[in-house]
Structure 1
Amino acid sequence: MIDLNSDLGEGFGVWRLGDDTALLDVVTSANVACGFHAGDPSTMRRVCREAAERGVAVGAQVSYRDLAGFGRRFIDVDPLELADEVLYQVGALDACARATGTAVTYVKPHGALYNAAVHHEAQARAVVDGVRAFGGLPVLGLPGSRLLAAAEAAGLRAVPEAFADRGYTPEGTLVPRKDPGALLTDTAAVVDRALRLAEAGELVAVDGTVLKTDAASLCLHGDTPGAVEHARAVRDSLTSAGVDLVAFAPPIRP
């Protein structure tokens, strides 16, 4: 049994990124941009409505305040300010979700904030403080990260995830996007990654190192080349292998 999640709602105004509607037919959880790295109120509400119609769980994908950089630039934010900005983003998305008959059921950082929270103790705690202030939702993050450790220490459910289309270092972190091997673009390779994770609890790093993982959710990025084709192939292969696809934080109707 495993969850499939994807980053959605990452357009802004008239600009669209990825095919939200197609991916919502595939995934079990939607990480919806909350307006800081992408997204706007209309996009947030639309994606929440489409998720609710399909029974897909809605998660808040919180970020640094970095529209110009798509949230992929580290910002040395004061932890108190960062906690408040996380709270703000979760609350904004939850309002949109509730207006469409669903609610936010988990939180996942985006981009540079996600990567910073792997090792940056103060920012990891700040993200958790913001989540806890909202009401104690599960936190989705990289196994072994400071983020998940802080979530557990705060009494929140810490949910480890893996990536179907990102390269891994031998230490179990993500290869930086600027480096070779950062992205898997071949559908067969993405499917092999997903099957090995679901069936054996293993990932293979760029140097061939086999990494053991207890990931409960598999991320399929919506902005990579061939994203929809990758996602459909992964879902078909997993279901054919007898793997149940279930949201780790099921959708609710408030």
Structure 2
Amino acid sequence: MLKSNWLSVALIIIVTAIAPIFWGSTYIVTTELLPPDRPFIAAFLRLLPAGVILVLISRHLPKRSEWLHISIMAILNFAVFHVLLFTAAYRLPGGLAAVVGAVQPLIMMLLIWYVDNRKPAHLALVASIFGVLGMAALLLSPTSTWDLIGIIAATAGAVLMTFGVFLARRWRTDMPLLAFTGWQLLIAGILLAPFAAFLDPDLPTLTAKNLLGYGYLSLFGTTLAYVLWFNGIAKLSPVAVSSLGLLSPITAV
């Protein structure tokens, strides 16, 4: 029985880990395949199609009592976070942006300590710090471009993502997984629409390369990745889930 439980947890961890691996590729896809300097449009086109797909598949409407929590998580987990993510991706080398984002486990431990009064184990704190330092040593170089706005965006994104994971675990309902994920994506996409329309430059004629980039980010980097991610949040501890973010820099180089 113990071995069976261990294998089950290991499988959940492996499947959940697919999400940050996909997310790490956001940086190179953004710089190589997407039109430049359009963070709101990139976030909008990434989120809205994924939300529509999942909501149509799930065919589940949230209860009246669930709308507020779903909307708050949509703003934190998706709308604001993805604008910050693409701002960082446009301005920073992928490795640097992902290393900044890798501080999430440390932020999560401090958040749980402050909110739930659960002091983190010293070993977990040390492991988290050395994990970030190790990634930095492997992926950063003296020639890395330290754009201030990009650094601020990446740091703020890491903080928001941590709060999003914390709230998703705390506010998890009996909603089906696809609906829980899809409605957050759809609401975030709708909220981003006016910002994408009025704040970013107009899109040029999209090439096959651009369409491939947007399609990959929406289908694999969002639809699939977030379903796996929220499934992991429901079954693993918040610190364990956040720690998987250390895998993002692997594909962000």
Bigger relative CO (Cα 8 Å, ≥ 6 apart): 2
TM superposition score category, shorter chain reference: under 0.3
TM-score (norm: length of structure 1): 0.26
**For the pair shown, which has the larger CA radius of gyration, 1 or 2?**
2
Q: Which has the higher strand share?
A: 1
